[in-house]
Amino acid sequence: MEFKMHELPTGRVAELIGDKQMIETAQDGLDVLGNAYYQEAAKVIVHEHQLSPDFFDLKTGLAGEILQKFSNYRVRLAIVGDFSKYTGNSITSFIFESNKQGHINFVESVSVALDCLSA
């Protein structure tokens, strides 16, 4: 697991890098969280393609399990991708509500993620 570090005035952000899917289970999400925290980052960026497709199927509960861990440890998360392909009411509402609360953000680019996480 490799991170690219971004230094912001509000703290360090760990961006998970790599082209393959890395987060398939809640434990994988916890591993990302732990590794980022070990590198003194209290904010994390992951890319949509690094998440299992099950993450976006809310019936599996995977998104809830992973995001609950980030909330419990008070680590902010930005997920970067093109979410327009998710058209179901549940997932679109989930993304909207997450963005509204601001602890978990679904955004279109790393630069927008950094802006969200710097607030």
With H, G, I as helix, E, B as strand and everything else as coil, classify residue 114: helix
CATH code at 2-118: 3.30.750
pLDDT at 101: 87
Q: Residue 84 region, left (φ>0) first, then alpha (ψ -120 to 50), else beta?
A: alpha
pLDDT at 60: 94
The arithmetic mean of pLDDT across residues 4-12, rounded, is 94
Task: Tell whether the model's pLDDT for residue 87 goes beyond 90.
Answer: no
Structure tokens at 46: 């992951």
Residue owning tokens 């927008």? 112
Residue owning tokens 């591993």? 31
- Identify whether the C-beta of residue 21 lies closer than 8 Å to the C-beta of residue 50: yes
pLDDT at 43: 97
Q: What is the pTM of this model?
A: 0.93
The arithmetic mean of pLDDT across residues 15-31, rounded, is 93
Domains of the chain by residue range: 2-118
